[in-house]
Amino acid sequence: MKRALVLLVATLALGACMEMEQESAKKEVGKTVKSDTAPWNNEPVAGGPKWAKGDRNSWEDQIKKRQLAQHEHRRIYQ
């Protein structure tokens, strides 16, 4: 009885350590893979930073202003 219990526990322990092969879902273009848009082509978030939709230069200017506001020396000595 004790031997059977030990064999059962050993079998379950080894079975728990077994690595199962995992297959990822096949990606089909147009169904699971979506293309991303350029960030300046998106609508600005309400209450957030503003830029002209589709204008890369205004988007880059907004990003530069945000980066300058995060710079400690610029924030302290303004």
pLDDT, one tens digit per residue, over 1-25 is 889 889 888 888 877 777 777 776 6
- pLDDT for the residue numbered 15: 75
Residue 11 CA neighbour count, 13 Å, CB half: 6
Q: What is the C-alpha separation between 58 and 68, in angstroms, rounded?
A: 15
